[in-house]
Chains A and B, each alone.
Chain A
Amino acid sequence: MIKDITIGQYFPGISPVHRMDPRVKIILTAVFIVMLFVADSIWGLIVGAAFTLVSFMISRIPLKLMFKSLKPILPIIIFTGVLNLFFIKSGDVYFHWKIFTITSEGVRTAIFMAVRIICLIIGTSLLTYTTSPIDLTDAIERLLSPLKKIKVPVHELAMMMTIALRFIPTLIEETDKIMSAQKARGADMETGSLMKRAKALIPILVPLFVSSFRRAEELALAMECRCYHGGEGRTRMKQLRMTVLDGYACFYTAAFFACVIAVNILI
């Protein structure tokens, strides 16, 4: 059924990672990405990988989910791995056949890049696993708020994103209902040529559009009734607040970052 599609990948929980301020989480994720690219030796990367794994453990997200997030990018990992393996020509030659050459430098870079990409994906998906989409947009709004000075409509963009996210499940449910209703009248969506199938979507899309417009109008009216007039002077019920926890998180990330730099200098 169409309802089974998961939107976003928020995995509710009460771990320290979940309870962190989403703004701090976003910034630390950015720091983490920088950390992965600063590391230029295998040892530095091992520190980065350790950071990823430890963070994952703290968040208490099932390991199964970690592998799930890796699945879609597996082809990219293999592709870059193969490219690096065959096209880097420096270092000791391990293997040579016609135009294919495998060198020590090639193997090193291939492994290095693969580990880096894997860490990158796991680390960033940790952010979306532990932060609800609404918290995420809230945090983005606050982080981007300096851009208001140059007349970027940050609040409006964030509000649009929040509304869009809020209505995705509603729209899915609506689509499901309309599909069932048209199927009950004998609509056939599973067989026939591509053209025929595209045409079969009309009885679903038209009512869906009509109801979306109706919903949008109703929502606009409801917001106006509650005196919504944009972000100017608007306060929040749920304030984002930094706690000691965020301090620890910053300290923890900084410690790993320092390790990476130290490894870079020493080795």
Chain B
Amino acid sequence: MAVIKTENLTYIYGEGTPFEKKAVDDVSLEIYEGEMVGVIGHTGSGKSTLIQHFNGLLKPSAGSVYIDGEKLWEDKARLREIRFKVGLVFQYPEYQLFEETCYKDIAFGPKNMGLDEAETDRRIRETAQMVGLKSELLDKSPFELSGGQKRRVAIAGVMAMKPKVLILDEPASGLDPKGREQILSLLKEYHQATKSTVMIVSHSMEDVARYADRILVMNKSKLFCLDTTEKVFHRSEELSSMGLSVPQITRVFNRLKIMGVIPERDVYTTPYALKLVLGELGKE
């Protein structure tokens, strides 16, 4: 069963004012349990607005959202439960840290859920380990940590609620290449360990190609496609016509195919490319 489903979802900013703008236009999609989905799209294409509907932060102007088969906004009191089910990590989440210690900050979500002390403690230690925070850091103030560590604390704060779906808006933006790599691979590990659904909004085609099972492409407020990675990157001409690109390695191999050097065309990760090239060399 689809864990997230939308039907003709439309959202208009500033409805009824001269500044009216359609941010999400007639989007119908289904996200299945246990998937890792990458969300890509140009700046202002409606990605962030779309994901804020999945945990009831925004109310659709038209259409509906179902989480686990339950229609949102039918009963406003249920929204809080939904937010524990669908964890949303905003862009630059380190700016929302507020407690004196990292421990207390991670505890904010579980406490709001009404969990008891022992369970909260267990979850904090578990998620801290998952995001690679050393236990001695838990008693430090989040404001003393480095940018990358702060981000881990913030992500742990959402993970500790053990949501069925974890959605992250640009979790790796503003980090150095090493930090990016670490954050993304810890998300992959989290995905594999918990078997939960993970959605990652990203600008980097390379990252999406490496980590996602399926890719959701937004273009000018509309859903362009939601399909497997191979199929999405197969449409490289269409993607580049809307200002998006395919991974660099895919571009290289597309060109190689045109030149007739290598038969394969759908290459989108470096490890796979390496294997392919080594295979070709082996033949000779």
Contacts and interface: CB of A to CB of B under 8 A. Distances in A.
A178 B96 contact: yes
B98 A181 contact: no
A203 B80 contact: no
Contacts of A206: 98
Interface of B: 14, 52, 55, 57, 80, 83-84, 87-90, 93, 95-98, 108-109, 112-113, 143, 157-158, 161
A209 to B, nearest CB: 9
Nearest to B96: A181
A203 B96 CA distance: 8
Contacts of B95: 177-178, 207, 210-211
Contacts of A183: 57, 83
Given A185-B161, A186-B83, A207 B55 contact: no
Contacts of B52: 180
A58 interface: no
A202 interface: yes
Contacts of A182: 96, 108
Interface in A171-185: 177-178, 180-185
What's the interface size class on A, roughly?
10 to 19
A186 B90 contact: no
Contacts of A188: 80, 112
Contacts, number: 55
Given A178-B96, A203-B98, A207-B98, A187 B90 contact: no
Interface in A149-198: 177-178, 180-188
30 contacts: A4-B14, A178-B95, A178-B96, A180-B57, A180-B90, A181-B90, A181-B93, A181-B96, A182-B108, A183-B83, A184-B55, A184-B83, A184-B87, A184-B88, A184-B89, A185-B108, A185-B112, A185-B158, A186-B108, A186-B112, A187-B112, A188-B80, A188-B112, A202-B98, A203-B96, A207-B95, A207-B96, A207-B97, A210-B143, A211-B95
A186 B113 contact: yes
B90 A203 contact: no
The 10 lowest CB-CB distance pairs between A and B, nearest first, are: A186-B112, A206-B98, A184-B88, A181-B96, A185-B109, A181-B90, A203-B98, A180-B57, A207-B96, A207-B98
B90 A177 contact: yes
B215 to A, nearest CB: 23
Nearest to A202: B98
B141 to A, nearest CB: 11
Given A184-B55, A203-B96, A206-B98, 9 more contacts: A177-B95, A180-B90, A181-B96, A182-B96, A183-B57, A184-B88, A184-B158, A187-B108, A207-B96
B143 A186 contact: no
Contacts of B88: 181, 184
Nearest to B84: A186
Contacts of B55: 184
A185 B95 CA distance: 14
